[in-house]
Chain A
Amino acid sequence: METRSTPERRSEYPASSLPARAGAGFKSAHFADIEAAAPGVGFFEIHAENYMGAGGPPHAQLMRLRRDFPLSIHGVGLSIGGAEPLDREHLRRVKSLVDRYAPAAFSEHLAWSTQGGRFLNDLLPLPYNSTTLAHVVAHVDEIQETLGRPILLENPAAYLRFQSSDYSEIDFLLEIARRTDCRLLLDVTNAYVSATNLDFSAEDYIDAFPMSYVEEIHLAGYAEDADEIGDLLLIDAHCAPVQQGVWRLYDRALTRRGPVATLIEWDNDIPPWPLLLEQATHAEQFLKSRRRAAVDDAGSEALHDGVG
């Protein structure tokens, strides 16, 4: 059944040209602040579906933003994890947006959101098995062929799991990446949320994540709820500052991956711009110390090799 050659390792060409800096999710409410201050953020990310109108302020702002900052386009509507064929019309819309803005990266989710021609506006879960793997691989192939570039695929936040899963999430993501040569977007908050909700170790997840495929990291604040026995249930709400546990996990991920483009997502209860900027600045500190550590390592290695 498998006819295409499957590379063992990712190709040497990156899918993303985002700088290894902290970026922010762009909200039009912040446009005036950003325009006035030209803040030192590394990039901005937008949701593709908000920019699919023909014109108006959204495109005027995006063109301005694109002129001054690297841009990442993040899709929320391709429904890659669906069993149904991709919505070709929607894929064409994504393509025309990507062609128009030539972003540094395009990413989407390991999830589904459309069924029977109805869009549910949520990132819904799928079992991880050979059947769903075939669907996802076919969809990623089709998207990459249409866009003419590799995409980044994001790990979801989970609230439950399927009895019909035969793969761990990490093995599933790795298999998709191997077969399609797509890259991965590691959402550290999603890992933290899933680990809490499904009772596994977030640290083990980060330690096992295939970092050589990771070209972007997402960080966001979760909301706390309780399950039926009063235990903590975390909701991936993008509505708050990044919590301490997530920052720690992020640092752990950076230790393995090295500095990489990191996005602060804040989509609900949108804060004033300075608060979002402060979060990006905080992420930048982690990136900076990771860069310093990398330089120190290289220095001591060179010294060691030179002397020894």
Chain B
Amino acid sequence: MTASVDFDQGAFVRALLDPELPTPNGLEARRGLQPERRFAVYRNNVCVGLVDALAERFPVCRQLVGDEFFRAMARCYVRDLLPRTPMLFDYGNDFADFVSSFEPAREVPYLADVAQLEYAVGQSYHAENAAPLSMDALRALPFDRLAGATAELHPSTHVVASQYPIVSIWRRHMSDDDAAQLELDHGEEALVVRPHLTINVTALPVGGSAFVRALERGEAFGQAVDAASGLTPEFDLTACLQALFLAEAFLAVNVSH
């Protein structure tokens, strides 16, 4: 048997991803047919498989721009950025960045933020399970000493701030309710939490996302309020805490003694 040459998988992949490149050498179809048509099956499988994965991952974005536009956009993304791991539920972590710089999508200015929200929803879905603080435990908190306390948030917690009403847009498309005309003149800050098995997506009061991010960094409630009201003077702490309590976003509140 002749010593076989190592198969050049790199060249195979380059040809898979670039339809302009010729079919790699050394391939055969049946009965003397050319291998081009067969190689195209693999080309198509790779592209369609990953575009499908993105379509499943970003269903609201797909609804917003229509299937044809979405798939064309996703094809460009796939060509630029292949998954780094075989876990496709992780694919698309920079899809929102890609969308924001994708020129043909400029007409839908909120698309990138909705993509970011959908990515957060996916992360939340697969996040670690943990038991959130119960309402009773929340009621028992010493609110007079909250300023110095730190919080541990549920591992499924994500916030996405946008200058567009992304929560309303997301909700409308998830429920197929196209009736109401959306006003795009205000922003929304989305809170995503999956305290048990169901994902909650709610809008936080303005400044809420800065507040949550500060808590996530380990800052005390007092500092987190400063962070939020520094950005938005009208920050409403009571409303924000209410939204976080209702969403069951807290795992623990550590009051120093």
| Interface positions of A (Cβ within 8 A of B) | 49-50, 52-60, 76-78, 82-84, 87, 89-90, 93, 112-122, 124-127, 129-132, 159-164, 166, 197-199, 225, 227-229, 233, 235, 268
Contact = CB atoms under 8 A, between A and B. Distances in A.
A232 to B, nearest CB: 11
A153 to B, nearest CB: 17
B9 interface: yes
Given A127-B7, A131-B5, A268-B52, 20 more contacts: A52-B87, A56-B125, A56-B129, A56-B194, A56-B197, A59-B129, A83-B7, A115-B10, A118-B13, A120-B13, A120-B46, A121-B83, A122-B45, A122-B49, A124-B12, A132-B4, A159-B41, A161-B27, A198-B30, A228-B34
A121 B49 contact: yes
A162 B28 contact: yes
Contacts of A52: 87, 89
B102 interface: no
A58 B124 CA distance: 12
A49 B86 contact: yes
A119 B7 contact: no
A57 B197 contact: yes
A30 B158 CA distance: 28
A172 to B, nearest CB: 12
B128 to A, nearest CB: 4
Contacts of A159: 38-39, 41-42
A287 to B, nearest CB: 31
Nearest to A162: B26
A228 B194 CA distance: 51
Contact of A83 (B1, B9, B197): B9
B1 to A, nearest CB: 6
Contacts of A53: 87, 89, 125-127
B85 A119 contact: yes
B33 A49 contact: no
7 contacts: A52-B87, A119-B82, A121-B53, A122-B49, A124-B16, A228-B34, A233-B41
B7 A131 contact: yes
A54 B127 contact: yes
Contacts of B82: 118-120
Nearest to B12: A124
Contacts, number: 152
Interface in B51-92: 52-53, 82-89
Interface in B132-173: 155-156
Interface string B85-124: 1111100000000000000000000000000000000001
A169 B161 CA distance: 54
Contacts of A90: 85-86
B199 to A, nearest CB: 9
Nearest to B81: A118
B222 interface: no
Most buried by B among A118, A119, A268: A119
A230 to B, nearest CB: 11
Contacts of A114: 86
B155 A54 contact: yes
A235 B40 CA distance: 11
B41 A126 contact: no
B31 interface: yes
B50 interface: yes
Nearest to A89: B85
Nearest to A79: B86
Contact of A82 (B9, B38, B129, B194): B9
Contacts of B52: 268
A116 B34 contact: no
Contacts of B53: 121
B49 to A, nearest CB: 4
B52 to A, nearest CB: 8
B46 to A, nearest CB: 5
Contacts of A60: 197
B29 interface: yes
Contacts of A161: 27-28
A132 B197 CA distance: 45
Ranked 8 nearest A-B pairs via Cβ: A77-B86, A53-B126, A55-B129, A129-B4, A54-B128, A199-B30, A118-B82, A160-B38
A36 to B, nearest CB: 17
A170 B116 CA distance: 47
Contacts of A116: 10, 13
Contact of B4 (A49, A117, A119, A131): A131
Given A57-B125, A197-B38, A163 B28 contact: yes
A93 B53 CA distance: 20
B140 to A, nearest CB: 27
B176 interface: no
B89 A164 contact: no
A89 B85 CA distance: 9
Given A56-B126, A163-B28, A120 B16 contact: yes
Given A83-B7, A115-B9, A197-B38, A55 B126 contact: yes
A117 B13 CA distance: 12
Contacts of A58: 125-126
